[in-house]
Amino acid sequence: MPGLTAPSGYAEEPPRHPALRINSKEPFNAEPHRSALVSSYVTPVDFFYKRNHGPIPKVDDISRYSVSINGLVSNHMQLFMADIRMLPKYNVTATLQCAGNKRTAMSKVRKVRGVGWDVSALGNATWGGAKLADVLELAGIPKLSSVTSLGGKHVEFVSVDRCKEEKGGPYKASIPLKQATDPDADVLLAYEMNGETINRDHGYPLRVVVPGVIGARSVKWLDSINLIEEECQGFFMQKDYKMFPPTVDWDNIDWSTRRPQMDFPVQSAICTLEDVDVIKEGKARIAGYAVSGGGRGIERVDVSVDGGKTWVEAHRYQKSNVPYVSDRAQSDKWAWVLFEATLDIPANAEIVAKAVDSAANIQPEKVEDIWNLRGILNTSWHRIKIQNSLCAARSNM
């Protein structure tokens, strides 16, 4: 693409914060320490997880960069950044989450394939840009359309990013046209992140943000938008990011039997403690995040210090001094909810968190029940086993 290129190697990677936990260097995949997640409602760009499939594309000439709209649409177009910036700008606070978040816990049950994410392969940002519904309207597709006049039912996003899974071709994904043209779905072509120009790691100069959906559909470094009849046939739509039962392994898998994963299920994690922690006996603050897909809010977060025998409801919040109610206009429906509870921690405690969303969906208790060969969507109860300082001292005698 004129103005934006995908490097053949990793020599020109952007700088990253040294505190990130690196899960792979080439391509670069990293997450922050879990405690950094609950330090603020909006995740600082430096501590937003980095998920890549190849070298980071580089802008050679921003004035030449454009996005084309092609396929089953009567009005093919080429839009430059100036054209996109002329459209109404919207700010949407939304959590993006990799489908492989919490994969390491699933790998302890049985081996899985994929990047070894802890609990921090997600982040909450305020994205700024044009609504995709407004962009498609420029191409003659009315809002709330389910099909174009030429039979297009899906919107495919094609990246400049090149990856081995596509045999050197571009990363791509799609969403249904009815979602893309719905203004209330808040799908953006984003050029800002947390009030600043989006950086290279997160898709500069333009990326797609699909709120409430696994991060794999929010394509970075956008090259083109195609209106197609069937969903995208790319690798990451057809041969990855699908949910299979524990009985399926690499010898009997049939990718065609499952649809691509879109909405992410209800999820939560404790961020103020880890299994290796030793804490003093007495009260301790337990805090973390909870989030659900599809715009569903968080109705409740329960915390236990005895492995799930008894529970205490945690305090939920988003913005300072604004009470969180999941279905109220002042709450961010696409964003995570932070939670906290101060509890007495017994000796050798097993601390557990589980969340319930506004549709009464609840996290499954056991990771074994949702194990799958790709290690995605580990939404089981988050468990942490800790010792108090007295017990730890005795064990070292």
For residues 278 and 179, membership in a common domain is answered with no
For residues 301 and 211, membership in a common domain is answered with no
Residue 313's pLDDT band, with cuts at 50, 70 and 90, is very high
Average of per-residue pLDDT values in the chain: 95
- Residue 149 pLDDT exceeds 60: yes
Model confidence over 20-32: pLDDT tens digits?
999 999 999 999 9
pLDDT of res. 137? 98
**Is there a domain that residue 252 lies in?**
no
Residue 392's pLDDT band, with cuts at 50, 70 and 90, is low
Beta strands at 278-279 and 387-388: parallel, antiparallel or unpaired: parallel
CB neighbourhood size of 393 (10 A): 11
- Residue 175 pLDDT exceeds 90: yes
Model confidence over 62-115: pLDDT tens digits?
999 999 999 999 999 999 999 999 999 999 999 999 999 999 999 999 999 999
pLDDT of res. 329? 86
pLDDT of res. 348? 87
**Is there a domain that residue 249 lies in?**
no
Residue 169: partners with Cβ closer than 8 Å, 6 or more residues away: 162, 163
Average pLDDT score over residue span 122-142: 98
Domain that holds residue 104: 4-239
Residue 295 φ/ψ region, left for φ over 0, alpha for ψ in the -120 to 50 degree band, beta for the rest: left
H or E, element range at 145: none
Contact 361, 265 (CB under 8 A): yes
H or E, element range at 28: none
Boundary (domain end) residue, out of 198, 221, 239 = 239
For residues 388 and 343, membership in a common domain is answered with yes
Residue 194's pLDDT band, with cuts at 50, 70 and 90, is very high
Return the DSSP state at 102: T
Contact 120, 100 (CB under 8 A): no
What's the CATH number where 337 sits? 2.60.40.650
- Residue 390 pLDDT exceeds 60: no
For residues 180 and 292, membership in a common domain is answered with no
Average pLDDT score over residue span 4-10: 87
pLDDT of res. 167? 94
For residues 229 and 273, membership in a common domain is answered with no
Secondary-structure breakdown of the chain: helix, strand, coil percentages, each rounded to the nearest 5: 15, 35, 50
**Is there a domain that residue 213 lies in?**
yes
For residues 235 and 272, membership in a common domain is answered with no
CA gap 387, 275 in Å, rounded: 9
For residues 229 and 329, membership in a common domain is answered with no
For residues 168 and 75, membership in a common domain is answered with yes
For residues 287 and 357, membership in a common domain is answered with yes
Counting residues of the chain whose pLDDT is more than 70, the rounded percentage is 97
Residue 276's pLDDT band, with cuts at 50, 70 and 90, is confident
End-to-end CA distance of the chain: 65
Min mean pLDDT across 135-144, 201-210, 252-261, 383-392 is at: 383-392
Q: Is 36 strand, coil or helix?
A: helix
CA gap 384, 397 in Å, rounded: 24
- Residue 207 pLDDT exceeds 90: yes
For residues 63 and 167, membership in a common domain is answered with yes
For residues 214 and 288, membership in a common domain is answered with no
For residues 77 and 204, membership in a common domain is answered with yes
Average pLDDT score over residue span 312-341: 94
Contact 68, 2 (CB under 8 A): no
Residue 395's pLDDT band, with cuts at 50, 70 and 90, is low
pLDDT of res. 333? 97
**Is there a domain that residue 253 lies in?**
no
**Is there a domain that residue 256 lies in?**
no
CA gap 192, 70 in Å, rounded: 25
**Is there a domain that residue 261 lies in?**
no
- Residue 281 pLDDT exceeds 80: no
Q: Is 346 strand, coil or helix?
A: coil
CA nearest to 220, candidates 67, 335, 377: 67
**Is there a domain that residue 246 lies in?**
no
Model confidence over 236-251: pLDDT tens digits?
999 999 999 999 999 9
CA gap 159, 53 in Å, rounded: 11
Question: In degrees rounded to 5, what are phi and psi of residue 179?
Answer: -75, -40
Residue 359: partners with Cβ closer than 8 Å, 6 or more residues away: 292, 296
**Is there a domain that residue 173 lies in?**
yes
Average pLDDT score over residue span 341-357: 95
Average pLDDT score over residue span 198-214: 98
What's the CATH number where 207 sits? 3.90.420.10
H or E, element range at 174: strand 170-176
- Residue 257 pLDDT exceeds 90: yes
- Residue 231 pLDDT exceeds 70: yes
CB neighbourhood size of 180 (10 A): 25
- The pair of structure tokens assigned to 280 is 């003093």
Give this prediction's pTM: 0.96
Query: What's the structural domain count of the chain?
Result: 2
